[in-house]
Structure 1
């Protein structure tokens, strides 16, 4: 949709100096001014891009908001150096051929280099899955699925085994929702603490947003239709400045595993 609007605008301005087909009427004087002035044309393209970007934000849970407060669970899973002052974009590539069925390679699209790896356990027990996240060859986090839980639940631990919290599918919600609860958050007895983060959207099509307890968008997950891999299933994660990227990756991979069978059925239906 966005590509169509952008292309239509370009055609309206550059369609053979008024003799070609123009989907939107543009005065000849405006067209001549824009075409003869690279600066004006560049400014127009920038404005169009900003408008489309704002429209996309509105449709996907709002703009990503830089996070300035300390993380509720303390030090980021990968260490303080993993926090960025800039928006970060990662590509999650799931291996279709895997001994564990839970292997992901994450690429940093901003610098086009590998970012981290997620590897599943070699041995499986029914309802008991474990995934390990490594950064620069060093394990930084563990996802451990609970054997007994009312809804799908994964404990999230540091490399040394310290539990920082868990992600679970919400029991009461109008639509599919996952919540991350911090282990150290204040709570009374068996009553779990309020969710520190909520993930909502279309999980099957991998279009969902992660928000903090203030309702601010801190990460967005979307399918990347511009790049296709023969051996990879590929989607993108955009992460707000100051947000823990490893936690976002952990939550995305946990959700991905819960919808793994549905993803496979969809790929088969699409003939992929």
Structure 2
């Protein structure tokens, strides 16, 4: 597996979460026995430190998930948009402004595209997630550059007993780990739709 090269500038919507200078690996796992079944804990895979928590809202029509940083600050809400031909998620700020959109498209395997305005450059950018047919692995591209990889532990004890997903997200230096975590949760939601 080729090393993830640093991004040419901060890529994403949260400059603060683009500041890592080395590749980082995050473990993303659904919480056991959560009330909604859609709560996640995201930890640094090397240290075990909690980086984000995702709180799935019970009884939400849009399947809302609130993303919180390690201090409990609400960063954004990921919600599924209704009445779209393709599965579409929006990341919205606490004051309900759209930060990014993640949309699926027809392809062999899985393809998700995130569009957003980069606050560092002021330009609209795209990240594209492409996965294999079984979604065991996926890569996220910025143009032609691979900026992240997702490895799913396809069969693990949590999955067998509680039907929970576990992912490891490898992120290149300078790439927004909050936005890429949202990609993983959207991938999980899309996989759940096909069950």
Give the TM interval when normalised to the shorter protein. Answer: 0.7 to 0.9
Number of the residue aligned with 1:66: 6
Does the C-alpha gap of structure 1 residues 174 and 258 become closer, same or farther in structure 2, counting only changes over 3 Å? Answer: closer
Structure 1: segments with no counterpart, 5+ residues: 1-55, 58-62, 186-192, 266-272
Separation (CA, whole Å) in 2 of partners of 1:71 and 1:138: 21
Q: Deviations over 1:211-270 (max 9, x none)?
A: 102x111111002489865766422110100000000000110110111255xx6xxxxx
User: Where has structure 1 moved over 3 Å in runs of 4 or more?
Assistant: 70-73, 203-206, 224-233
Paired with 2:90 and 2:75, the residues of 1 have a C-alpha distance of 14
| Contact 2:150–2:170 (Cα < 8 Å) also in 1 | yes
State the 1:203 CA deviation: 6.4
Q: Structure 1-normalised TM-score?
A: 0.61
Which residue is equivalent to 2:46? 110
Secondary structure of the residue that 1:260 maps to in structure 2?
helix
Report the TM-score, using the length of structure 2 for normalisation: 0.83
Q: CA 1:142–1:168 in 2, change beyond 3 Å: closer, same or farther? A: same
Residue 178 to residue 155, structure 1, CA distance change in 2 (3 Å): same
Equivalent residues of 1:96, 1:233 under 8 A apart? no
Residues in 1 aligned to 2:136 and 2:154: alpha-carbon distance in whole angstroms: 12
Cα distance between partner residues in 2 of 1:98 and 1:261:
19
Instruction: Give the count of matched residue pairs.
Output: 188
Q: Is the 8 A contact 2:149 2:170 kept in 1?
A: yes
Match for residue 91 of structure 1 among 21, 27, 47: 27
Which of the two has greater helix per residue? 1
In the alignment, structure 2 segments of 5+ residues that lack a partner are: none
Structure having the higher Rg: 1
